[in-house]
């Protein structure tokens, strides 16, 4: 299926400079660790979706991710070094200083907590973005602590 989709892509519509920039990346093999991480991410996220879809919602998922990343402290009180390190994994924050990262995290938390802006706040996208920044071990810890804790079941990688 993937091959058919790729073969249907008409590269002649793209500028040659762009094609010459993209093509070398298609020949690079990915490490086993990255491929395994991609596979486990899908499994992990399906577990999270199943847990939050029926019992909670995306706003609760985002709140729980904030609490997990901030070591069970409200973002308005302080931002943990752990949360800063997680956010620095995002390409946008790689060049930002800690103060800029903290400002983003605190404004992000306040905006989500503001009931007046709740309709304009995209809980789903923001929650998925944070979950996507977590490592395999962090995802497993989040699932064990926040998703499976009530069922007394633990997920092991």
How many domains does the chain divide into? 1
Does the residue 12 lie in any domain?
no
User: Does any domain span residue 156?
Assistant: no
Q: Is the pTM of this model over 0.85?
A: no
Q: Tens digit of pLDDT for each residue in 97-130?
A: 999 998 888 886 655 555 445 555 688 888 899 9
The three-point CA angle 133-136-139 to 5° equals: 70
- The reply to whether 84 falls in a domain is yes
Round to whole Å and give the CA distance between 69 and 150: 20
In a domain, 11, yes or no: no
Span 69-83, pLDDT tens digits: 999 888 877 889 999
SS3 of residue 42 by DSSP: helix
Whether residue 37 is contained in a domain is answered as yes
Please give the residue range of the domain that contains residue 145. 31-151
CA distance linking residue 53 with residue 41, whole number of Å? 17
17 within a domain of the structure (yes/no): no
């Amino acid at each position: 299926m993937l091959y058919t989709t790729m073969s249907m892509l008409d590269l002649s519509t793209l500028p040659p400079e762009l094609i010459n920039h993209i093509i070398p990346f298609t020949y690079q093999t990915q490490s086993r660790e990255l491929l395994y991480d991609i596979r486990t991410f899908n499994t992990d996220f399906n577990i999270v979706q199943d847990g939050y879809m029926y019992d909670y919602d995306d706003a609760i998922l985002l709140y729980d991710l904030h609490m997990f990343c901030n070591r069970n402290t409200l973002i308005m009180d302080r931002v943990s070094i752990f949360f800063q390190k997680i956010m620095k994994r995002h390409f946008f924050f790689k060049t930002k200083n800690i103060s800029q990262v903290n400002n983003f995290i605190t404004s992000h938390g306040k905006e989500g907590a503001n009931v007046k802006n709740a309709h304009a706040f995209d809980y789903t996208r923001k929650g998925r973005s944070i979950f996507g920044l977590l490592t395999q071990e962090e995802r497993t810890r989040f699932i064990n602590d926040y998703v499976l804790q009530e069922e007394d079941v633990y997920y092991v990688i």
